[in-house]
Chains A and B, each alone.
Chain A
Amino acid sequence: MPRWGMVIDLKRCVGCNACTIACKQEHGTPPDIHFARVVTREVGTYPHTKRTFLPLLCNHCEDAPCERVCPTGATYIRPDGIVMVDADKCIGCRACAVACPYLNRHFIEPGLLHAGYSGNGDLTPFERLKFAAFQEGTMTKCTFCAHRVDQGLEPACVVTCPTEARVFGDLDDPNGRLSQLIEERKGWTLLPECGTKPCVYYLDEEERRPSDQ
Chain B
Amino acid sequence: MSDETGSLTTRMMHEDLIRPVVFTGRRFYLAVALLGLIVLWGLAAWGYQVRTGMGVAGINSPVFWGVYIATYIFFIGISNAGTLISAMLRLSHAGWRHPVTRCAEAITVFALMVGGMFPLIHLGRVWKFYWLIPYPNERGLWPNFHSPLVWDFMAINTYLLGSFVYLYLPMLPDLALIRDRVNGWRRRFYGLLALGWSGTPVEWHRLEKAISILAVVIIPVAISMHSVVAWDFSVALKPMWHSTIFAPYFVVGALFSGIAILIVAMVILRRVFHLEAYLEPIHFNNLGLLLLMFCCLWLYFTFAEYLVTWYGHLPDEMAPFRFRVEGSLAPFFWGMVLMNFVIPVPILAVRKTRTVTGCLVASLSILIGMWLERYLIVVGTLSRPRLEFAWGHYAPTWVEMSILAGTIAYFILLYVLFSKLFPIISIWEFKQGRRLRERRPTRDVPVMADEPFPGVMLDD
Contacts and interface: CB of A to CB of B under 8 A. Distances in A.
Interface in A29-68: 39, 41, 54, 65, 68
Interface stretch (B52-60, B169-177, B403-411, B424-432): B52-60
Contacts of B390: 103
A106 B122 CA distance: 16
Interface stretch (A11-19, A89-97, A119-127, A154-162): A89-97
A98 B55 contact: no
Nearest to A210: B315
Contact of A194 (B53, B122, B237): B237
Nearest to A69: B147
Interface string A80-108: 00000000011111110111011100111
B112 interface: no
Contacts of B238: 98, 101
Contacts of B143: 71-73
Interface stretch (B127-135, B183-191, B334-342): B127-135
Interface in B342-401: 382, 385-387, 389-390
A71 B144 contact: yes
B48 to A, nearest CB: 12
A137 B123 CA distance: 8
Interface string B139-173: 10111101111100100000000000000000000
A94 B129 contact: no
Contacts of B153: 71
Given A71-B143, A73-B143, A93-B122, A136 B237 contact: no
A137 B124 contact: yes
Contacts of A153: none
B281 interface: no
A90 to B, nearest CB: 7
Nearest to B57: A109
Given A109-B53, A110-B55, A190-B387, A70 B144 contact: yes
B230 to A, nearest CB: 14
A111 B52 contact: yes
Interface string A135-147: 1111100000000
Given A68-B146, A101-B386, A110 B52 contact: yes
A135 B128 CA distance: 13
A69 B236 contact: yes
Interface stretch (B61-69, B217-225, B250-258, B269-277): B61-69
B55 A211 contact: no
Contacts of B129: 91
Contacts of A194: 237, 386
Given A69-B148, A109-B55, A93 B124 contact: yes
B235 interface: yes
Contacts of B139: 89
Nearest to A138: B124
A91 B386 contact: no
Nearest to A39: B389
Q: Range of interface residues on chain A?
A: 35 or more
B149 to A, nearest CB: 4
A178 interface: no
Contacts of B315: 210-211
B125 A90 contact: yes
B316 interface: yes
Contacts of B119: 93
A41 B390 CA distance: 11
Contacts of B123: 91-93, 137
B61 A106 contact: yes
Contacts of A102: 387
A167 to B, nearest CB: 23
B236 A98 contact: yes
B55 A69 contact: no
A94 B125 contact: no
A191 B125 CA distance: 31
A120 B339 CA distance: 47
A91 B132 contact: yes
A89 B131 contact: yes
Contacts of B64: 94, 97-98, 107
A112 interface: yes
A110 B62 CA distance: 17
Contacts of B142: 73
Contact of A73 (B59, B62, B128, B141): B141
Contact of B53 (A93, A97, A110, A190): A110
B62 A71 contact: no
A121 to B, nearest CB: 14
Contacts of A190: 387
Contacts of A109: 53-55, 124
Interface of A: 39, 41, 54, 65, 68-73, 89-95, 97-99, 101-103, 106-112, 135-139, 190-191, 194-196, 210-211
8 contacts: A69-B236, A73-B144, A91-B129, A92-B125, A94-B122, A107-B59, A136-B124, A211-B316
Interface of B: 52-55, 59, 61-62, 64-65, 119, 122-125, 128-129, 131-132, 139, 141-144, 146-150, 153, 232, 235-238, 315-316, 382, 385-387, 389-390
